[in-house]
């Protein structure tokens, strides 16, 4: 072949610093034959580990292939640290497709460790002649909240200058995901080995390239460890991965989502295995919550009976009372817990009655009752039992029981739509982890139930009609099916769903609920000067609002994609008694386990 090739056969040791860029559009030249390919590969005589490559085929986009990625630059420089023999191939993009020269095996015999002496190399692999193993962050090492978060690609997301928009902690990671490891080595070269029990392809052995100047990571024949359920959501797991943070203990990488959901960054969080194995959590004291008068919560005026909630009798929470598992029914409990409909029968009759004067009655599942006393310490949210101690066997290893000192902490309370306390999560602090195991009790039948459908109608219609508008200070949130674990906050909105045009469209719209003479309800939507109406059915038992002939007002601008179609909307948050002051949240089911909720306030 007639390649005008000037080549010094000293190229591509195992580590190189290789800068390249990808154009928005490839330049497709005219047709060209293999014999017409022209290029040079020159070795710097003063630094034999510096290789300079140049394409001499003008009008064509070059394609340089190396063991660690590709370049499409006309002229590029490789900084190679280690000796070795590797494969190199040149080609161009022509009108007939890619035309490539024969692959060439090239040997380099010298070493230049100055190419890998940047502190980032040390952070990643421990430095020359060392290796370092990384695992996904479980959220228990005092660094990130979990293995993965999210970030807006329209905002600045660069090394040590990035802003995640959501870090949920639990993104559906499995035990197999968290068992994966990746080891970066610099023993004779940059080798990457992975152990992936969560991927069908299994373990890998490859190489990697760290560009310390551009803060990017490229791998070959192996990819970074990741969550298996997210693999298909991104097309690039190996080339020029953006490094957001890299230090001795922590690494955070940005992977661009490319599926139908649209571009967004997944931020994968890693910790070094040495750090994880030796991590000792700080001694975090129990927080204290201001739930109001605990005596009123437990016993109201004279007494109150609390029964075990057989739908969700137990869970775990963090120290702030946020439940750690999205379990909303018996069916949600995984098999490993052992909890099912059969086990629910073991606690269906269990209850605790607190009286205002400090007496307590424990009722076992068979109806046996034991009387004792309790003390209520408001400052620490603790209840201490005497003579009658709750101990309700649920299934196998799960017992609803107190601490060794016969105490429970009130970790979380729930309110019904009337604003009354309807549920309590009592908790025991874990001896090793900053979390509680919590037990769920709900208030028993008091005989004083309110007609909630009338209360819901009064909240939305008043004595005739009420008009509501979007709260532009806190317009939207994304929650689980219980209306919990939302992540947006008042006063702060992200540009991917909320901008000036969206605000203007929200301010130009309203919704009205009107009670008719026959007791029925009509819903009206006003937007852009036009009003549409629809029959409306309020169902306070299921906390739904059904609007059969129209939806909620649509948004414009960045929020034009937000779902507003019905016919059934879920009352996500807000009490009927406080609608006039706090508003309410209506949700559209946007995923199997998610509501997109909109905050409406009185206009």
Render pLDDT for 504-549 as a digit per residue (tens, 0 to 9). 999 999 999 999 988 899 999 999 889 999 999 999 888 999 999 9
> What is the band of 144 on the pLDDT scale with cuts at 50, 70, 90?
very high
CATH number for region 294-443? 2.40.128
- Name the pLDDT band for 432 (thresholds 50, 70, 90): confident
Distance between CA atoms of 423 and 478, rounded to whole angstroms?
23
CATH node for 117-278: 2.40.128
Give the C-alpha separation, 376 to 357, whole Å: 11
Which pLDDT score, from 0 to 100, does residue 160 have? Answer: 96
Q: Which residues touch 576 (CB under 8 Å, ≥6 apart)?
A: 417, 418, 419, 452, 455, 456, 458, 459, 540
Q: Three-class SS of residue 270?
A: strand
Q: What is the rounded distance in angstroms from the CA atom of residue 146 to the CA atom of residue 413?
A: 25
Q: Give the model's pLDDT for residue 447.
A: 43
Per the rule left: phi > 0, alpha: psi between -120 and 50, beta: everything else, 406 is left
Confidence of residue 330 (pLDDT cuts 50, 70, 90): very high
The values of phi and psi at residue 320, to 5°, are: -95, 5
Strands 4-7 and 38-44: parallel
Residue 351 vs residues 141, 220, 477: alpha-carbon distances, Å = 38, 60, 36
For the residues 185-210, what does the mean pLDDT come to?
92
| pLDDT at site 292 | 81
- Stretch 33-55: mean pLDDT: 87
Residues of the chain with CATH 2.60.40.10: 4-112
pLDDT of 301: 59
Give the strand order in the sheet containing 16-18. Answer: 4-7, 38-44, 47-55, 75-80, 16-18
Distance CA 14, CA 17 (A): 10
Distance CA 153, CA 266 (A): 10
Q: Which part of the chain has CATH 2.40.128?
A: 117-278, 294-443, 452-602
CATH architecture of 452-602: Beta Barrel (2.40)
pLDDT of residue 444: 79
Say what the pLDDT of residue 18 is: 39
For the full predicted model, state whether its pTM sits above 0.85.
no
- The answer to whether 259 and 232 have CB atoms below 8 angstroms apart is yes
- β-strand partners of 268: 148, 253
* Residue that wins the pLDDT comparison between 136 and 39: 136
> What's the full length of the chain, in residues?
603
Q: Does domain 4-112 have CATH number 2.60.40.10?
A: yes
Helix intervals (H) in 228-357: 273-278, 294-299, 341-344
Give how far the C-alpha of residue 430 lies from the chain's centroid of Cα atoms, to the nearest Å: 24
CA 335 to CA 592: how far, in whole Å? Answer: 21
The span from the CA of 425 to the CA of 316, in Å, is 10
């Amino acid at each position: 072949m007639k390649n005008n090739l000037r080549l010094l056969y000293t190229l591509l040791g195992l580590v190189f610093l290789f800068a390249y860029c990808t154009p928005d559009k490839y330049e497709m030249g005219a047709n060209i034959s293999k014999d017409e390919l022209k290029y040079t590969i020159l070795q710097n005589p003063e630094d034999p580990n510096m290789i300079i490559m140049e394409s001499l085929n003008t009008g064509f986009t070059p394609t340089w292939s190396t063991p660690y990625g590709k370049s499409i630059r006309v002229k590029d420089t490789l900084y190679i640290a280690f000796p070795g023999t590797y494969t190199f191939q040149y080609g161009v993009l022509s009108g007939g497709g890619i035309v490539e020269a024969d692959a060439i095996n090239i040997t380099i015999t010298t070493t230049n460790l100055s190419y890998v002496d940047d502190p980032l190399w040390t952070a990643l692999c421990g430095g020359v002649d060392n290796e370092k193993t990384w695992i996904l962050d479980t959220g228990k090492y005092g660094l990130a909240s979990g293995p993965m978060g999210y970030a807006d690609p329209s905002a600045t997301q660069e090394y040590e200058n990035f802003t995640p928009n959501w870090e949920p902690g639990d993104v559906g990671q499995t035990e197999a995901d968290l068992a994966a490891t990746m080891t970066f080595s610099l023993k004779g070269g940059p080798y990457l080995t992975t152990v992936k029990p969560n991927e069908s392809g299994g373990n890998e052995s490859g190489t990697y390239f760290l560009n310390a100047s551009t803060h990017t990571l490229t791998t070959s024949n192996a990819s970074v460890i990741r969550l298996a359920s997210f693999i298909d959501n991104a097309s690039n797991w190996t080339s020029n991965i953006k490094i957001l943070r890299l230090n001795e203990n922590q690494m955070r990488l940005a992977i661009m989502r490319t599926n139908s959901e649209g571009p967004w960054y997944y931020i994968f969080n890693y910790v070094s295995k040495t750090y994880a194995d030796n991590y000792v959590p700080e001694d975090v004291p129990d927080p204290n919550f201001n739930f109001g008068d605990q005596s009123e919560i437990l016993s109201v005026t004279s007494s109150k009976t609390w029964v075990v909630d057989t739908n969700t009798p137990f869970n775990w929470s963090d120290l702030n009372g946020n439940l750690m598992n999205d379990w909303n029914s018996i069916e949600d409990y995984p098999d490993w817990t052992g909890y099912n409909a059969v086990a629910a029968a073991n606690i269906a009759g269990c209850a605790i009655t607190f009286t205002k004067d400090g007496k307590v009655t424990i009722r076992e599942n068979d109806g046996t009752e034991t009387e004792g006393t309790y003390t209520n310490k408001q400052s620490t949210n603790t209840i201490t039992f005497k003579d009658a101690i709750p101990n309700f066997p649920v299934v196998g290893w799960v017992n609803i029981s107190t601490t060794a000192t016969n105490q429970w902490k009130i970790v979380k309370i729930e309110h019904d739509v009337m604003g009354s306390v309807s549920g309590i999560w009592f908790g025991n602090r874990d001896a090793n982890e900053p979390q509680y195991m919590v037990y769920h009790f709900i208030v028993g039948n008091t005989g004083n139930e309110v007609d909630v459908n009338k209360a819901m109608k009064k909240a939305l219609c008043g004595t005739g009609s009420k008009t509501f508008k979007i709260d532009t200070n806190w317009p939207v949130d994304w929650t689980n099916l219980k209306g919990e674990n939302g992540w947006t906050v008042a006063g702060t909105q992200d540009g991917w769903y909320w901008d000036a045009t969206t605000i203007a469209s929200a301010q130009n719209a309203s919704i009205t609920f009107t009670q008719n003479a026959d007791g029925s309800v009509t819903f009206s939507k006003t937007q852009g000067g036009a009003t549409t109406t629809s029959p409306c059915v309020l169902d306070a038992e299921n906390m739904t609002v059904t609007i059969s002939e129209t939806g909620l007002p649509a948004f414009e601008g960045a929020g034009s994609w937000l779902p507003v179609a019905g016919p059934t909307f879920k009352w996500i948050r807000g009490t009927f008694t406080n609608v006039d002051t706090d508003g309410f949240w209506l949700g559209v089911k946007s995923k199997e386990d998610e509501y997109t909720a909109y905050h409406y306030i009185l206009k």
